[in-house]
Structures are given as C-alpha cells and as structure tokens.
Amino acid sequence: MNILIIDIDSLRPDHLGCYGYDRDTSPTIDAIAERGVRFDRCFVSDAPCLPSRTALATCRHGLNSGVVTHHGEGQRYDEPGNGHDPDADRMLAFRQLAENGIYTASVSQFTQRHLAYHFGASFQESIMPTATAGGPAIEDCSDVTPVAQSWLDRHADDDDWLLHVNYWDVHHPYLGIEDVVDSVRDSGSAPEWPDQAAIDDQQGMTGVRCADLWPSADQYGPDWLDFYDWPMPESITDRDDFEQLVDGYDASIRRVDGEIATLLETLERNGIREETAVIVTADHGEAFGEHGIYAEHAFPHPACQQVPLIVSWPGVTDDAEGEATDAQVYQFDLLPTICELADVPIPSGWDAEAFTPALSGDRFEGREFLVSGQGIYTFGRAVYRDQWMYVRLVHPGVFSYPGLYNDPDLPNDGLELLHDLEADPHMTRNLVASEPERTAEMRGLLDRWLVSQLSDEWHAQQPVESRGRDPLARTASTGPYLYADPDELLELYREHDRSDAQIEALTRTMAAFPRPTRNPSS
C-alpha cells in the first residue's frame, strides 16, 4: 500500500465543506472524505507549527520531547538515546516505518523554516521545494505541487511508500488568490459569528492580531504590510474587516484544494489511485474572533488546536465511506494507525495510540479526554472532555480580554477558563466562577496528567536540573514574546492614545510576568 499525507498549515476543519461549511472551499477534500472516514474531534497534542509537527514526527507530547514552542529552550528536541544509538522505544515515527520496509519522503520547507532537523531526519528523503524558507521567501503551492508530482511519477511503479506533502498557503499572508476569491465569496456567506455586537465587545483588549490591532505599520513596519497581496485590516472594527480576512483565508483553502486535485490526477494518470491511501490533515487551525484573536494561532482553544483528519484507505475504509466519528483522537494517533495497517511494530515509548477500528466503522470509543498545549503568543494547555474545555494559561503573553482572563476578579488571576462548547461554541463566557465543581474536576484531570507524564521512567533519567520539570513552564520564564514585544506594544499604545484601561491591563500583565533581560530568541 502507498500512502499520501497532505498536511495543510493553519487549516481549521469548520471551513471545509465536508465539515459543514457553507462556502465551496474544498471540493477535492470533500470528495476524499466521501471515500473515507472523517474525524470530527481530532486535536493536536501541541500547537502551533513546530510543536505540532514535532509531535507528529515523534508520537510524543511536547512535554516528553521538549518541543513546546518556537524559540529558546522550548524549541529544542530532546533526542532520546545514547551517543549514536536512538532509543528504539521512542523511535522517530516515520523512521519506524522506514526501518520496516516503507520508503518515506517529505516535500516541505518546514525543517528549514523552523530549524527542525529532527522532522526532516524522520524521513529517508526530505525535499525542500524551493531554495529558501522563512521570511519573505515563502514557498507557494505552485512550487510544491510540481516537486510532489515529479516524486509520484518516479515512484509510481514502486510498492510501499509514504509521501508527506506540506502546503503552507492557508497561513497568512494570503497570496495568489485573485483568480478564486470571487467564486468563493459568491458560493456562500461568511460565518455569522462574530456579529457586530461580539466585535464591539472585543474592542479595548490588549494584544496583537486581535480586534483592536491586527498588522500595524507602526509595529511591523511598512515592508511587512506591503508583503500582503491581499489587503489586511489594521484592526477589526466591523463585519467588513472580518469578512476581508475570512475571504482571503477561504480563497487560500480553495487554491490549495486545486493543488490537491492535481496530485490525485497524478495518481490516476499513473494508475495507482486505488492502491494509495490519501490522508488530509493540518498542523493547527486559526482563530477568527475566538477570544478576540483574528487570523492567528495564539491561544489554547479549538480554533487553534482542533484540526481536520480525513482518511481514505482503499480496502480499509470501503465499508465506512463517507462516515464520521466524534471519538476524540490526537492527530499523532495517525502514525500508530498506519503502523497497524502496514504490519509495523509500534514502539512502546510512543504516547500515540491507534484508532484503526474507526476506519472500518467498528466500535471505537476514542480517548476519554485530551490535553493540548499552546506555545506561541500565549503559553498554556487546554483539556477537552465531552463538551467541556478547561484552559490553564502558564503565561498570557501580551493578551488581556476583559471578563475572560487576566481579570483580577476571577480566581487564579483569571488564568483559568472553563467553557461549555455545546452551549457556548464561540467561548464568550468563562464559567470558572459559576461552575466551581466542574472547574475542579477539569483542573484535577490536568494536574494528574502532568504528574503522570513527568513521573515516568524517561523523565526520571533526565539531568537533575530538568528532571520532572515541564518544558512549557521552563520556557515561560522567557515569555511568549517571539512575535510580540510587550515593551514595544506598550509604547505603541501610548503613542496612539489607546485607553488608560488598555495601558493599565498590559502594564499589570508585564508586572505579573516580568520579562527577562536576555533576548528570548537567543
């Protein structure tokens, strides 16, 4: 069996037709879902990009791999093993497949963009589609697809391979969408929420990529704004501003969907479509108003941590075509599932667990609860159980949103949140104060999970200075300031006569979470 994994950066599931979206963003992905199984409650174990793809490549929580953020100590992968010998119980996920007869390759700039050697090293063949990565030299989907096509053409007659193809285009800036944006707009309405009342409520919060301040020429510089083909609002003050962002995002999904169609046509042309499993997923999602954040992955909530997972596997999903499961799974549970289906041993040291029964429509309960970490702009973890979501912020970064967090009238300085996702899917009400028993229950789940993870044998063997310590908490000492400098933001607020309440809120946060003197990116 051959396996094609399509990994789309920043893709939230509820903007796909197969997940119920009103707009025609994803006809190709929807067709894949019709031939496979869709997971409606799939979350990454760690977000965003670097922690998420590290988890996929290691099948381990960031707590156990060391990678929980994009900078400082929290970006460094703790390679298990001794000298030149890796730990066979914690083998890199795609390397485990390679060692058991499946040829593995990846077409992605990710390894270079995030200096993540361990990700590229997980594959036998790691291909950068362009010569550069990061900054203004961002690869376009039109750069990626021809490289992936060429690989598929060369390996069409081979047996047992896995190709990972990474598209970055759904991540802002939204480039090259002029030919598709009108048709996407005309195909359906933008989401009804946030309505104007919600947008009005979000004015006055502190932070970047929020309703009060999105990209600003003062903060990011005119060159940054010029980089955006698609005009981006400097703040979100009304529905027009919101729809401008969503139109660019949705059109980017449609553009990538067309590239996926080209890959499937390549499989068809080579006569191997029916012997190739096709999987569509993402590294994280994107907020569009949740907790006041727009077009960014900055908070531990479903907008960032919930991802699509669609598996179409000939001979396995045939009896469950078009079905969906609401069983909770981690995205990295995909790898042991592939191992089971390919008759590859699953290392004992992985945190991931196979969801194979769900693919054939058999009874599958999924995980009782999930813990998902967040590692840029804010540091924290969310716990998902049934309809409940509990958040503990380790560090709020530069964000404060009245009534939700960093509110002195709430317990624990407002660094805890509780939401009922069925009654309040947009998470507008924090129930910590009104639901103390439920809060205690969810808090206990997270505490016990942390203790069990940090008490295992591997952690006990670590150096004394890091033994039993949470890498997210260690990294929080430098603050989640890689993309948002609190001093610069405070100065910007003063220069532009922002409200006394905003200046006071940001000053209070900076006092509660002092910034170290050294550069956090060093």
The domains of the chain are located at 2-79+88-194+246-365, 371-512
27-34 helix and 239-269 helix, angle to the nearest 10 degrees = 60
Work out whether strand 294-296 and strand 287-288 pair parallel, antiparallel, or are unpaired.
antiparallel
CB atoms within 10 A of CB 51: 32
Q: Which two tokens stand for residue 112?
A: 């270079």
- C-alpha to C-alpha distance for 121 and 110, rounded to whole angstroms: 12
Segment-wise mean pLDDT, segments of 10 residues, the chain, 522 residues: 97 98 98 98 98 98 95 90 90 97 96 90 94 70 97 97 97 93 97 97 90 64 59 90 96 98 98 98 98 95 98 97 98 98 97 98 97 96 98 92 58 80 96 95 97 76 64 88 89 87 88 66 40
| Three-state DSSP class for residue 386 | coil
Rounded Cα distance between 518 and 479, Å, is: 11
pLDDT of residue 168: 94
Measured between alpha carbons, how far is 394 from 469 in angstroms, rounded to an integer? 14
CATH code assigned to 371-512: 3.30.1120.10
- Reported as a single tens digit per residue, the pLDDT across 131-156 is 876 555 578 999 999 999 999 999 99
Q: What is the pTM of this model?
A: 0.94
pLDDT of residue 237: 95
Residue 217 has a pLDDT of: 44
Counts for the chain of helices (H) and strands (E), in that order? 20, 19
Q: What is the pLDDT of residue 125?
A: 97
Pick the CATH number of 2-79+88-194+246-365 from 1.50.10.20, 3.20.20.330, 3.40.720.10, 3.30.1330.20: 3.40.720.10
Round to whole Å and give the CA distance between 260 and 280. 10
Up-side HSE of residue 301: CA atoms within 13 Å toward CB? Answer: 29
- What pLDDT shows up at residue 516? 64
C-alpha to C-alpha distance for 199 and 210, rounded to whole angstroms: 10
pLDDT of residue 405: 56
3-state helix, strand, coil in the chain (%, to 5): 40, 15, 45
Asked whether 153 and 266 are in contact (CB, 8 A), the reply is yes
The predicted pLDDT at position 496 comes to 81
Give residues with Cβ within 8 angstroms of 157, minimum separation 6: none
pLDDT tens string 89-102: 999 999 999 999 99
